[in-house]
Amino acid sequence: MGTFSKWTEIESIFRLKEILSVGEVVATEKIHGTSMRIGCIEGVIRVGGRNEEFDFALSNPGTGMGFMGWLRGTSIPVKIKEVAAELEKDIIFYGEWHGVGIQKGIRYFAQEKGFRIFGLRINEDLQDWDKVAEFSAKIGVPTVPVLYRGAPNMEVFDRFRLVPSVVAKENGVDVSDNIVEGIVISAVPMQRIGQSWLIAKHKNPKFAERASEKKAPEPIGEGVMENGNYFVNEFWTAQRLEHVLTYLREKGIDIASPTAIGQAIRGMFDDVMKEGQPEWQALSEETQRIVGKIHPSRTKELLEFYWRESNLGDNKKEDL
């Protein structure tokens, strides 16, 4: 059986300076939702979230925060199968499931949910934006909006990561503070850099998962405890927790239950290791041990705040 590949990991533009040297880029709105993928691999329809794969035939309709129920009510799987047969290749569409009840902070619909495609893989190659748009039209699914296309320009990128959501406006939601989560910037034509692809994200600071992207970083201390606290404060943020909780919800986990605490702690650590591996490796072994001791309580504090703000359950503080 062929590979039902996950979407590629995307670096911050501050870590992927190479994208500023290409001739042309396309910048699209980064939707604040949850990532889904649908593909036809060796003639078989396969569906999944960012990390999990779902059983297309047997999964509960509520799987993926309702994505499976929605998808089964469309002709999208049939159309994807037809496109794959025509190409005689494997094909995977990547998109964002968004709307009411999925994420907080941006309102995309009055009451609904929707799906927008942001990426396409044919066999193992990610495709240029023009191909993304072409094949999305073939299966009848809209793409994320293009906000800019042209030469790389940080001033332009800084401006577009703070504009009102085009997706929301297209859905009739026009609220002044309904700002985009950020933008995704892709090279045209699509290019590799090592084993990765030239795709960068530039987030609205409101949705950044690192503390220093929201405000100027505090100076690093000189002692082991100070360095450990700095690392935890930098990476263990409310926005990262929301990202992790979305993943847990995709798996069908009740995030309002005390049993979710351990999974949230593990999920936060794993997510930090994906993004902050260089900084983690730069810490001394003693500082890493300090981080290991203090990050669980930080996750619990963030989870308690999330429960309280979301009105999830009663008396959660006692459970912690």
pLDDT of residue 222: 53
Mind listing the pLDDT tens digit for each residue in 284-316? 999 999 999 999 999 999 999 888 888 765 444
pLDDT digits (tens, 9 = 90+) for 85-113: 999 999 999 999 999 988 888 999 988 99
H helix intervals, the chain? 67-72, 76-87, 129-139, 154-160, 166-170, 224-235, 238-250, 260-275, 277-282, 285-310, 316-319
CA distance 14 to 211: 14
How many domains is the chain built from? 2
Cβ(37)–Cβ(94) below 8 Å: yes
* Mean pLDDT over each residue of the chain, to the nearest integer: 89
Among candidates 91, 104, 73, 195, which has minimal Cα distance to 134? 91
Residues β-bridged to residue 249: none
Which of residues 207, 230, 250 is at a domain's end? Answer: 207
Contact 101, 160 (CB under 8 A): no
**Rounded to two decimals, what is the model's pTM?**
0.79
The domain in which residue 168 lies consists of 11-207
On whether both 274 and 299 belong to a single domain, the answer is yes
Query: Last residue of some domain: 172, 207, 242?
Result: 207
Query: Are residues 138 and 270 located together in one domain of the fold?
Result: no
Q: Are strands 91-99 and 113-122 parallel, antiparallel or unpaired?
A: antiparallel
For residue 317, name the pLDDT band (cuts at 50, 70, 90). Answer: very low
Q: Is residue 4, in this structure, part of any structural domain at all?
A: no
Q: Which of 256 and 186 is assigned the larger pLDDT?
A: 186
Residue 1: per-residue pLDDT: 56
Same domain, 230 and 314: yes
The verdict on 87 and 167 lying in the same domain is: yes
pLDDT tens-digit readout, 60-73: 999 998 999 999 99
Mean pLDDT on 44-61? 92
Residue 1 structure tokens: 């059986």
- Determine, yes or no, domain membership for 6: no
For 250-290, write each residue's pLDDT tens digit.
777 888 888 889 999 999 999 899 888 888 888 899 999 99
pLDDT over threshold 50, residue 38: yes
> Using an 8 Å Cβ cutoff, are 168 and 174 in contact?
yes
- Where does a domain end: 170, 189, 207? 207
pLDDT digits (tens, 9 = 90+) for 197-242: 999 999 998 887 777 765 444 444 556 778 888 899 889 998 899 8
Same domain, 223 and 268: yes
Q: Answer with the residue of higher pLDDT: 318 or 9.
A: 9
Residue 318 pLDDT > 50, yes or no? Answer: no
- The predicted model gives 138-159 an average pLDDT of 97
Whole-number pLDDT of residue 191: 92
Q: Does 87 share its domain with 131?
A: yes
Which secondary-structure segment (H or E) carries 126? strand 125-126
CATH code (residue 117):
3.30.470.30
Based on the domain organization, do 83 and 228 belong to the same domain? no
Distance CA 303, CA 320 (A): 9
Q: Has residue 3 been placed in a domain?
A: no
29 and 105 together in one domain: yes
For residue 145, the 8-state DSSP code is: P
For residue 17, being part of any structural domain is answered with yes
The predicted-structure confidence for 163-185, as pLDDT tens digits, reads as follows: 999 999 999 998 878 999 999 99
- Residues whose CB falls within 8 Å of the CB of residue 14, separated by 6 or more in sequence, listed in order: none
Full DSSP string of 257-275: STTHHHHHHHHHHHHHHHH
Are 158 and 227 found together in one domain?
no
Task: Give residue 42's pLDDT band: very low, low, confident or very high (50, 70, 90).
Answer: very high
Give the N- to C-terminal CA distance of the chain in Å, as an integer.
44
Identify the residue whose tokens are 């994906």: 274
Same domain, 195 and 226: no
Return the DSSP state at 135.
H
**Quick one: CA dihedral 232, 233, 235, 241, positive or negative?**
positive
Q: Are residues 74 and 156 in the same domain?
A: yes
Q: Helix (H, G, I), strand (E, B), or coil: what is residue 180? A: coil
Q: Are residues 155 and 228 in the same domain?
A: no
CA distance 54 to 220: 43
Specify if 24 maps to a domain.
yes
